[in-house]
Amino acid sequence: MVEEGERVLLLGASGAGKSTLLKSIAGLVEDSARVTGRLDVLGRAPRPGDGVSALVSQDPASQLVMARAGDDVAFGLENLLVPPAEIWPRVHRALASMGLDGLESADTHRLSGGQQQRLVIAGALAMRPRLLLLDEPTALLDPQGGDEVRRHVSSALGTTDGPPMTLILVEHRVGDWLPLLDRVVVLEPGGGVVADGTPDEVFTRHARLLADLGAWVPGSPALPRSAARHGGADVLAAKHVSLRYPDTARAAVADASLELRSGQATGIVGANGSGKSTLGRMLAGLVQPTTGSVESGKAQKPLHRWKSGPLSRQVTMVFQNPEHQFLARTVADELRVGAQPSVAITEGLLERLRLNHLAGADPFTLSGGEQRRLSVATALASAPRAVVLDEPTYGQDRRTWLELVTLLGGIADDGVAVCFISHDRDLLHVLADRALTMTDGTLSETGP
């Protein structure tokens, strides 16, 4: 039972059912699902769309319904029949609270993943729900954006105008959220609560249990930094590339040059909306630069003009939203799309990324963390010379994070050029041989 006004963290390994529980509370589990037991919200069965609860899911793009950012926030208020005179003042306040002031007319699908995340949270808070359900709300945000979200969620929870707001949060990295929480509930895979208490009680008394489940414990070390790899020959070279989207005031990427070398891991960091993902798509040959080119070796044409088969053997990309690249009906078949790897390679990747028990599952039924690991596996199945990964550790518990980082370090040691885009500072510290920063579309070297 969760009391009104409580601030509860749901903790557990990737795939333990945390996101499914949040969807159930919000009334979004399909009627065909096998559900046992009883779930009440304010004394009755959950009713989606009644404004009592607001869910921010792991994939913000899936919750965007309007073309303009301001209209997207207003959409929920209109459906709740908020008086028209109140709607836009609440929209402006909600956007400003998430650092999106002035973006009322922005195209929602041109926002970065982090900006989309903040937009969805703004829409949820604007509705002033009784129950706020947040699923990994800061995993795609830069440190400043994460701080802003926590600050404004805290402010919303402390509002005394009306009944108190209840928070149920799912987050793997919990350290920065601890001041807001008064209860931690730990779930185990397959269902069941294995620990329940205050943060101090759970993290002190159940530290061994949490470690066995693969959960992150505040203050737990990641991995020691690996020895720096100096890299070999250039696999890819971006030469003065820029990209400007139509009807925008400035270039998303401006005059960027870099090389991805065999046997070296390059990390790219920067604020949300700074152009990191756009640069990644150009490096992978998926987007044609406005100026400049991305080339490979002695090839006579830039990467964006290569056919898909040769391109996938040269470079593959893991997108920020993994479900955008799934094509097959089962996890095992997904690894065989295009590249047709051997059975040994397929089984080896599934085992290393703890997906072997899900080989026959539909990729779209996996948890967010499992989908992320599958997207990494599919990128590696074709044995490319270079791999570009956008937020590869998003949604991972500590165990799968360690395994994923060890895998990426291993392929770098084997000569693959690894480039990752991330807000995960632990990942940058452990894996990167070279670090670059994007600032308003401009790329600069920041060291190892």
Residue 351 CB partners (closer than 8 Å, separation 6+): none
**Would the pLDDT of 427 be above 60?**
yes
Nearest to 119 by CA among 51, 186, 69: 69
| Domain 234-447 superfamily per CATH | P-loop containing nucleotide triphosphate hydrolases (3.40.50.300)
Q: What is the pLDDT of residue 59?
A: 79
Lowest mean pLDDT among 132-136, 222-226, 345-349, 355-359: 222-226
> pLDDT tens across 214-246, in order?
888 887 766 777 767 888 899 999 999 999 988
> Residue 61 — φ and ψ, nearest 5°?
-60, -30
pLDDT in tens, 114-163: 888 889 999 999 998 999 999 988 887 888 888 888 888 888 887 656 67
Tokens representing 401 are: 């994070």
Q: Assess whether pLDDT exceeds 70 at residue 30.
A: no
pTM: 0.82
Rounded Cα distance, 380 and 346, in Å: 10
Ranges 23-37, 223-237, 410-424: which has the least confidence? 23-37
How far is it, in rounded angstroms, from Cα 161 to Cα 304? 54
Residue 48 has pLDDT above 70, yes or no: yes
Q: Where are the domains of the chain?
A: 7-213, 234-447
Q: Where residue 32 falls among pLDDT bands split at 50, 70, 90?
A: very low
The sign of the CA dihedral 140, 144, 145, 149 is positive
Short-list 130, 124, 127, CA closest to 165: 130
Q: Model confidence over 283-295: pLDDT tens digits?
A: 999 999 999 999 9
Q: What fold characterizes domain 7-213? A: Rossmann fold (3.40.50)
Among the residues of 62-128, which ranges form H helices? 69-79, 84-97, 113-126
In angstroms, how far apart are the furthest CA atoms of the chain?
68
Q: What is the dihedral of CA 227, 140, 186, 158, to 10 degrees?
A: 130
Q: Indicate the pLDDT class of residue 414, thresholds 50, 70 and 90.
A: very high
* pLDDT given at position 415: 94
Rounded to an integer, the average pLDDT of 365-383 is 86
Strand partners, 106: none
Tell me the helices (H) and strands (E) count for the chain, helix number first.
14, 15
The reply to whether domains 7-213 and 234-447 share a CATH topology is yes
